[in-house]
Amino acid sequence: MAYHIHEHSYVVGGLGVTGQACVRFLLAQHAKVKAFDTRPTFSLPEDLLATMQDDVVTASEVTKAYFNGVDTLILSPGLAPTIEQVALAKECGVEVIGDIELFARLNRSARHPKKLVGITGSNGKTTVTLLVNHLLNACGVSSIEAGNVGRPVLEALDSDVDVVVLELSSFQLETTTTLPLCAATILNISDDHLDRHGTLENYIQAKQRIFNHAQSAVVWRDGIHISPDTSHAATIDNVLEYGLGACAKGFSIKSVEGKQYIAFNQRPLIAIQAIHLAGMHNVLNVMAALAICHELGVSPEAAVQHIGSFHSAPHRCVEVARIEGVRYIDDSKATNIGATIAALEGLAPTTEGHIILIAGGDAKGANLATLTPYLNQHVTHVFALGKDAQQFKDCFAPTTLVSSMEEAVAQARQEARDGDVVLLSPACASLDMFDNYMHRGDVFARAVHALLLQATAL
C-alpha cells in the first residue's frame, strides 16, 4: 500500500540534527507538521524559525490536547520512548515512529525502491558503513551512506542511487518496525547505553530488531548475542559468517607460505599486512564489509581490490604521530568498554613494545572493572581523566589520575619507550569534559603535535 505523506499530520519530537531534517522534509512534502523539544531553551536555524515559529513548543507545553488531529509522532533517536510526551501521544492513539521507519515506508512506496543494507553493533558501525559504501561505488554499484553515520536518512530518498547503506543505532532501531534489508549485521555487542536501555537484555533486543525484515544476515562466528534470534529471523534465508579462525566456508584467516590472508571459502583474498587499517578488529570490519558486498552481488575478489583506497573516519584507531619510536593513536570514538577492548586486542599483536592507555570520562552506568583482565594482559599504565577516572584506579593499580588531556599526554610521553604505543581509547563518553568525542580526539592530537614540535626542535 502506498504511503502518502501529505495525507498525514505529524509531530516531530526533538529538534536536533535528525529532528530538523525531519521537519524540513515534511514541510517540503506539504505535510502538516509541528514540533516540540525537551530542552528548556533551544535555537532553530533561521529558515525553520521563520516557518515553524508558531508551531514549536517546549516539552512542558505538550498536553493531550496538543495531539488532537495528529496521526504520527516522529521521535528523534536522542529522545527515549519512555518520556512523558510519548506516553501522552500513545494515549491519544498517535502512532510513534522514527525517521528510519518513515524512510522505510516511503522507499517501499517509491516507483523504484532502493536496495537497503543495515549495519549496527556497539563498535565499528561507521567504519563498516563507510567501507561498504566505498567498495560498492568502486565496483560500479551506485550507493550512498545514511543514518547514524551523519547523513539524515530522509535525504537519501531523492538520491539517484541503487543502494542505501544504513548505519543504525539501538536508539533508531527502537522505533523501527518495517525496514526491509537485503543484508543486515550486528557487528558486536558490549555494555553500552545502559543508562538509556536499563539492562543489557533490552539493549540486545533493540539491536536484534535489525533482523526483523532482513533477507540475509552477516554474522561474526565468534560473537555473542549477534546471530538472529528466533523471534527476529522470520524472513532470513541466508546467513554468511566471518571470523579470525580457520573455516571452510565464509570469511576466515588462512596461512599461505607464512603469511596470513583474509580468505573466502578458503580462497586467499588479501594479506593482513596489506590492510592499512590498524588492528585485528579492523580485519573483522573488512570481512564484514566484504560479506555485505557479497550479499549484494559484488564478488569478494572484486571488492578487495579497493580496500587500499579507503580512508577511515577520524578518531577510530588513527595514528596521529610517531615520536622517538612511540606511536600515538587516537581512538577517541571508543565511547564504551567494548570499543576499548577491541582496540587493545586489535593493536596488541602488532605492537613491539607496550601499550600505555589514556582513558576516562562518563562510563554511562557501565562497570569499568570489566576491563581489568584486558588491562592486565595488554597495558602497562593507564592515565585516567574525567568523571569516572577513579574507577580505573580501583580496577587497575598502575593508574595515574590526571586533570587534563594535556597532562595525560605529557605523562604518557615520560612513561613511553621506543616501540610502545600511547593509545587514547577512553571506554567512556566525552561530554563531562569535551564537546563530543571529536573534540576530545582533537585535543589529544594537538597535545601530541605539541610534543612533536618539541622533539623536532631539539
How confident is the model over 341-362, as pLDDT tens digits?
A: 989 988 998 788 999 999 999 9
318-457: CATH topology is Protein-Tyrosine Phosphatase; Chain A (3.90.190)
pLDDT digits (tens, 9 = 90+) for 106-149: 999 988 999 999 999 988 899 999 999 999 999 999 999 999 98
* Mean residue pLDDT across the chain: 92
CB 291 within 8 A of CB 378: no
Q: Percentage of the chain with pLDDT > 90? A: 75
User: Alpha-carbon distance 291 to 219, whole Å?
Assistant: 9
Active-site positions read 125, 148, 193
The neighbour count for residue 31, using CB atoms within 10 Å, is 18
Q: What is the DSSP letter of 362?
A: B
- At residue 2, the pLDDT reads 66
Give yes or no for residue 278 having a pLDDT over 90.
no
Using DSSP, state whether 176 is helix, strand or coil. Answer: coil
Domain boundaries, the chain: 7-96, 102-309, 318-457
Name the CATH superfamily housing domain 102-309: Mur-like, catalytic domain (3.40.1190.10)
pLDDT digits (tens, 9 = 90+) for 73-113: 999 998 999 999 999 999 999 999 999 999 999 999 988 99
Report the alpha-carbon distance of residue 405 to residue 8 in Å, rounded. Answer: 50
Express each pLDDT in 311-320 by its tens digit: 887 888 888 8
Q: Which CATH class is domain 7-96?
A: alpha beta
Burial zone of 47 (CB within 10 Å; 0-12 exposed, 13-18 middle, 19+ buried): exposed
- How do strand 259-264 and strand 251-256 relate by DSSP bridges? antiparallel
Residue-level pLDDT at 315: 87
Edge-to-edge strand ranges of the sheet holding 143-147: 143-147, 163-167, 115-120, 183-186, 216-220, 238-242, 251-256, 259-264, 267-271
The 10s digit of each residue's pLDDT in 201-238 is 889 999 999 999 999 999 999 999 999 998 888 889 99
Beta bridge partner(s), residue 56: 35
**Average of pLDDT values for 414-428?**
96
Please check whether residue 67 is in contact with residue 94, taking contact to mean a CB–CB distance below 8 angstroms.
yes
Confidence of residue 458 (pLDDT cuts 50, 70, 90): low
pLDDT digits (tens, 9 = 90+) for 27-81: 999 999 999 999 887 778 888 877 887 788 888 899 999 999 999 999 999 899 9
- What pLDDT score does 40 carry? 80
